[in-house]
Structure 1
Amino acid sequence: MFERISMIGLGYIGLPTAAIFAAYGNRVIGVDVSPYVVDTINAGQIHIVEPELDGIVHKAVNDGTLHATLVPEPADAFIIAVPTPFKENYEPDLSYIRSAITLIAPVLCEGNLVILESTSPIGATRQMAEWLADARPDLSFPQTAGDAADVQIAHCPERVLPGHVVRELIENDRIIGGMSTRASEMATALYKLVVQGDCIATDAETAEMCKLVENSSRDVQIAFANELSVICDRFDINVWELIALANRHPRVNILQPGAGVGGHCIAVDPWFIVASAPEDARLIRTAREGNDAKPTWVVDKGKSAILEVLSADPTRAMSDITVACLGLTFKPDIDDLRKSPALEITRAFGQLGCQVLAVEPHIRTPPPELQDLPVHLVDLNRALETADVICLLVKHSAFAEIGSQIPEHARVIDVVGLRSQLT
């Protein structure tokens, strides 16, 4: 049924998904708008950091089961995994999905399956179907023809954890939201080519909402932990000890606080629910606003520490102060900087006029957000030796022994528990 599978978008989700299908012997066509991405993959290399992925892509390209292109080719199934950000007013931006539809519409034919994997607001899959129908009036789609449609459409949200994508693409259950019974059956057959978990059928809107709810639930729980950390700081209570003690209750499982919430999912998806039901999603909105405010709180803590240094030595100016920011990514042990609170905090320190030493073992060059600022990417030893203020922002494995290495003179802001968390 699926001799050729086309993956539209070769980013953090699209490339691993394409590679897994190809590794199982399926012929996969990867489509991306970036010539660099296409050339890198066709050379058997990868442009992102994800454990195990480089070897899988290299073998699939050499075996001829995976190739990348800028222009879509005919296929039996098309999986769309493109960004779905929000606009300035937190309204969902579906322009990337629409661009993907424009790309694939000319090569669609009878018997095809189109799956939207991108995390989407409620109704996005049906909107995609309408765009396809407008682009290809010679074909029928499930919103009008149901099971008899020429092209079937489904939504199957990705639900993987960066750093564990390869394993979770195979092991995790998948939610299949078909716009018809036939669409759900076809999508299930496609994913069962590689998925060992269950494929559970529902309608498209429920599948869309399921992903949003999963991430919104995490966001609310993290917001509680982050709020606890702020309250505990006021009373000089070790929040990590407190949480560890509270979690000894058999029905309590408080998450760990941090610098905020980042990434392409948890920091974005709750806003899709808020945009769809602004009068009802009050808790979800409050949690999202609370997590967005955490980086500002961290920067304020840093400013207070800087003022302490300046007060202790009036001969020094702001430009003489060095702040070390340990970690830039949105979570530990990956290279993903999308909506990273650590990056936001580091940029804010750079704008103060002090010298900023950023330590990020998973990237080689400073990101564009830090250009034209007094921010330098350095190794851990240099940062620890020269910094007046040290901000522990990401719990990378490379920082695991940091507690014993911090010099006594440095003022430390630890928002991830690297020094104080119980072990």
Structure 2
Amino acid sequence: MNAPFSGKLAILGMGYIGLPTAVALATRGIEVIGVDVNRDIVAAVSRGEVPFVEPDLAISVSGAVAMGRLTATTETPEADAYIIAVPTPFNGDHTADLSFVQAAVEQVAPKLRPGNIVVLESTSPPGTTQKLAEWISAQRPDLRMPDDSEPNADIFIAHCPERVLPGRIMIEIITNDRVVGGLTPRCAERAASIYRVFAQGEILLTDAASAEMAKLVENAYRDVNIAFANELSLIAESLHIDIWEVIRLANRHPRVKILSPGPGVGGHCIPVDPWFIVSAAPLLSTLIRTAREVNDRRPHHVAEQVVAKAQRFRSPTIACLGLTFKANVDDIRESPAIEVVGLIAAALPEVDILVCDPYVDHVPAALSGYANVRLENAHAAVERADIVVLLVEHEPFKAMRHTRLGGKVAYDTRGVWR
């Protein structure tokens, strides 16, 4: 039962997780079909190109396509195993939006044959993998679904959450431990055979709900600790104390490791996943909810500080450096930097706001409605600006304090210009 998977595998969702997973499998001899509803993404992958920036991914995609191991299509094929890696955003009430997962299941279910493996990688609330089995069963009553009372299930269903860091995906997808949770132990074992093809880290087998919860807990842990740093920064600001110095000193304690404050929390995981825990147990998750509220409030505080600084000028120009959710990637999903810019633009409609990011070549859709926001080269923007706001610590921005900020009001939300 410990042999690696061999056969044809389809991955639904060619995004930041689906495509690297496809490459990790294809470059190790597995025939992989990438499926995506976006025809532009399918066309790019079919050409051996990557539709987003991620170190080391482009050469791997090109090689996998050239070897004939990776193809892309908009139609779900018949395969021996399926990995669902589609988005799971949240609704307005912070409950999980599982519509993309359900749509993927509707594509997979008609293709299933006895012996197939279905793995959900999309981050999901506890119980989603069980719900996936119920959706399949509704479409395919001819197939026996796995449960503790069914030793001879036709289909093997499991959850294996991704746990990689943008900018290091191609390293961490290989080296990180993986949690594989099955609806039954046999489901977990069969799903683990897929990850044994490429994973060098330990593969930890468990039940599906525990695997779902573990991923949410990982990101809630980060969120709570970031909220602690952000709340400390508010307190230090009110007391006119340098928070960066306080954290530096406190972190010299051997059992203290305070994270850095910032303009908010972004990306596809940390701003979303803790809400799934809150929605699952709303009366018991007060700390997790409060941390989310602290971090959600942070972009508003940063924008208010910039607007206050702008009152010193008759007609200031503001340069905002950084639009992505973290440094040195092109990912703008849930970016607090974009939210900060939007709040400033709305509060100061007559003020020119120049946004700069070496990884973003267009004004994001969330800012396109503001006539006073314009994309600009960073050096030109800083030269023109009266106020310079550092929102993302991209490498090209770090040295600017020493070369271009003389005489300007600088607001560093990341602590790299101290």
TM-score for both structures, normalised by structure 2: 0.97
- Post-superposition Cα deviations, 1:313-363, rounded to whole Å, max 9, x if no partner, equal xxxxxxx32111100111111111111100101112222211111011001
| Aligned residue number for residue 391 of structure 2 | 393
| Aligned residue number for residue 412 of structure 1 | 410
Shift of 1:106: 1.2
Shift of 1:147: 3.8
Q: Is the 8 A contact 2:185 2:206 kept in 1?
A: no
Task: Give the 3-state SS of the residue equivalent to 2:181 in structure 1.
Answer: strand
- More deviation, 290-299/134-143: 134-143
Q: 1:50 aligns with which of 51, 54, 60?
A: 54
Q: In 2, distance between residues paired with 1:157 and 1:285?
A: 22
Q: 1:367 aligns with which of 348, 364, 374?
A: 364
Q: 1:325 aligns with which of 307, 320, 327?
A: 320
Q: Is the 8 A contact 2:10 2:32 kept in 1?
A: yes
| Aligned residue number for residue 159 of structure 1 | 163
CA RMSD across the alignment: 1.1
Q: In 1, distance between residues paired with 2:108 and 2:12?
A: 9
Q: In 2, distance between residues paired with 1:344 and 1:268?
A: 15
Shift of 1:406: 3.6
| Aligned residue number for residue 194 of structure 1 | 198
Match of 1:291, as an amino acid?
Answer: N
| Aligned residue number for residue 317 of structure 1 | none
Q: In 2, distance between residues paired with 1:402 and 1:258?
A: 18
Shift of 1:144: 7.0
- Post-superposition Cα deviations, 1:79-102, rounded to whole Å, max 9, x if no partner, equal 000000110010111100000001
Shift of 1:12: 0.7
Is residue 181 of structure 1 aligned with residue 188 of structure 2? no
| Aligned residue number for residue 93 of structure 1 | 97
Shift of 1:71: 0.4
Runs of 4+ in 1 over 6 A off after TM superposition: none
Is residue 383 of structure 1 aligned with residue 381 of structure 2? yes
- Post-superposition Cα deviations, 1:25-44, rounded to whole Å, max 9, x if no partner, equal 11000000011010010011
Shift of 1:291: 0.2
- Post-superposition Cα deviations, 1:369-403, rounded to whole Å, max 9, x if no partner, equal 11132111111111110111111111111112122
| Aligned residue number for residue 314 of structure 1 | none
| Aligned residue number for residue 291 of structure 2 | 287
Q: 1:349 aligns with which of 344, 363, 378?
A: 344
Task: Give the 3-state SS of the residue equivalent to 1:330 in structure 2.
Answer: coil
- More deviation, 403-412/190-199: 403-412
Match of 1:226, as an amino acid?
Answer: N
Task: Give the 3-state SS of the residue equivalent to 2:82 in structure 1.
Answer: strand
Q: In 2, distance between residues paired with 1:380 and 1:147?
A: 62
Q: 1:275 aligns with which of 267, 276, 279?
A: 279
- Post-superposition Cα deviations, 1:235-260, rounded to whole Å, max 9, x if no partner, equal 22221111111000011000011111
- More deviation, 140-149/70-79: 140-149
Q: In 1, distance between residues paired with 2:95 and 2:197?
A: 36
Q: Is the 8 A contact 1:5 1:27 kept in 2?
A: yes
Matches within 5 A, 1:213-362: 213-310=217-314, 320-351=315-346, 352-353=348-349, 354-362=351-359
Match of 2:363, as an amino acid?
Answer: P
Q: In 2, distance between residues paired with 1:341 and 1:324?
A: 16
Matches within 5 A, 1:21-40: 21-40=25-44
Q: In 2, distance between residues paired with 1:403 and 1:249?
A: 30
Q: In 2, distance between residues paired with 1:96 and 1:103?
A: 11
Q: In 2, distance between residues paired with 1:264 and 1:14?
A: 14
Task: Give the 3-state SS of the residue equivalent to 2:265 in structure 1.
Answer: coil
Q: In 1, distance between residues paired with 2:405 and 2:212?
A: 49
Identity %: 47
Q: Is the 8 A contact 2:25 2:32 kept in 1?
A: yes
Q: In 2, distance between residues paired with 1:229 and 1:69?
A: 48
Is residue 172 of structure 1 aligned with residue 176 of structure 2? yes
Match of 2:409, as an amino acid?
Answer: R
Shift of 1:404: 0.7
Q: Is the 8 A contact 2:23 2:64 kept in 1?
A: yes
Q: In 2, distance between residues paired with 1:57 and 1:4?
A: 18
Q: Is the 8 A contact 2:160 2:179 kept in 1?
A: yes
Task: Give the 3-state SS of the residue equivalent to 1:335 in structure 2.
Answer: coil
Match of 2:333, as an amino acid?
Answer: R
Q: 1:108 aligns with which of 94, 107, 112?
A: 112
**Paired residues, what number?**
411
Q: In 2, distance between residues paired with 1:235 and 1:293?
A: 20
